Amino acid sequence: MLRFITSRLLQSLLALFLVITATFFMIRFVPGGPFTAEKAVTPEILRNLEAHYGLDKPLWRQYLDYLGRLGHGDLGPSFKYPNRTVNEIIADKVPVSAELGLLSLGVALIIGITLGTFAAIRRNSWIDYLASTVGMTGISIPSFVVGPLLVLGLAIHAGWFNASGWYGPADRVLPCLVLGFAYAAPISRLTRGGLLEVLNQDFIRTARAKGASEFRVITRHALRGGLLPVVSFLGPAVAGILTGSFVIETIFQIPGIGREFVNSATNRDYTLVLGTVILYAVLIMALNLVVDILQAWLNPKVRLET
């Protein structure tokens, strides 16, 4: 078990290193720099700016400097927002995106697991068909179609919600619904499949024979094993919610890190892009690591080996 964790950890660190290096060099090789986009700047000012930000040093020097600063947790100053460091900007926006992400995940899990469970208990009933239709819809209608449509219907025509913004709790509803719904679909399918397998096993029959109520059988016995596929899906699900947030934050004008990432990429704000990419990479890799470990631990075969 320990060996497994160590090897996965090393793998992740290697991947992280690759990501940082690749992104660093990719950004530097792009035509145009952070200062050429907007107002034309005279050559002297350009040179001063570059010297100030260390852009006039040789490439490998910049790379080493960057790595050095990274070691101290300093992501550098932002190029587009003078006098603000990347750490500040990220610290500002990440809580918003985190809230969006967690709430959406919650929505996805609640809707998905509930639908999937009912679909498994009452196979081929109307609930089952509802679940698979929801499943199909979630996969086929993308978030950037559902989102604007919901805004059109519920916010603009019915006036129940604001069309954009992230001020009060009501503003959370639409974005999280849209983002979560897309993942509720696969989660419900996986729950249904997993539960169906578990429900056929003998220990469930024993529990029922011993007189446990159906509710108890499901929640205390069946779900534990049935949810295993869902756990392994959590990795891709969170990664997906993360990338989905780019679009959702754009549609609903949410001041999160996803929208900031897209903007900074278009603006060629080197350090901000790099900082955001590193953030995402660390997040996704940590998550995959946790999910892998969790899976290995939950699987009794692996656990008993160690």
Cα(189)–Cα(169) distance, integer angstroms: 30
Kindly tell me which of 212 and 292 has the beta carbon lying closer to another protein: 292
The encoded tokens of residue 269 equal: 């704000």
Please tell me the number of Cα atoms within 13 Å of 81 on its side-chain side: 16
Q: Does 139 sit near another protein (CB under 8 A)?
A: yes
Which segment (34-42, 81-89, 139-147, 215-223) binds another protein by CB under 8 A?
A: 139-147
Kindly tell me which of 33 and 212 has the beta carbon lying closer to another protein: 33
The encoded tokens of residue 191 equal: 């729950």
Mark residues 88-107: x for contact with another protein by CB under 8 A, - for none: --------------------
Provide the terminal-to-terminal Cα distance of the chain, rounded to the nearest Å: 6
Cα(31)–Cα(38) distance, integer angstroms: 15
Kindly tell me which of 114 and 250 has the beta carbon lying closer to another protein: 250
Q: Does 191 sit near another protein (CB under 8 A)?
A: no
Cα(167)–Cα(266) distance, integer angstroms: 26
Cα(210)–Cα(172) distance, integer angstroms: 45
Q: Does 158 sit near another protein (CB under 8 A)?
A: no
Cβ neighbours of residue 59 closer than 8 Å, sequence gap 6 or more: 25, 28
Backbone angles phi, psi at 85, to 5 degrees: -90, 160
Kindly tell me which of 250 and 295 has the beta carbon lying closer to another protein: 250
Mark residues 104-123: x for contact with another protein by CB under 8 A, - for none: -------------------x
H or E element that contains 258? helix 257-267
Kindly tell me which of 212 and 265 has the beta carbon lying closer to another protein: 265
Mark residues 1-20: x for contact with another protein by CB under 8 A, - for none: ----------xx-xx--xx-
Cα(230)–Cα(194) distance, integer angstroms: 8
Among 141, 173, 294, 298, binds another protein (CB under 8 A): 141
Footprint of another protein on this chain (CB under 8 A)? 11-12, 14-15, 18-19, 22-23, 26-27, 29-30, 123, 136, 139-142, 144-145, 147-149, 151-152, 156, 196, 239, 242-243, 246-247, 250-251, 261-262, 265-266, 273, 277, 280-281, 284-285, 288
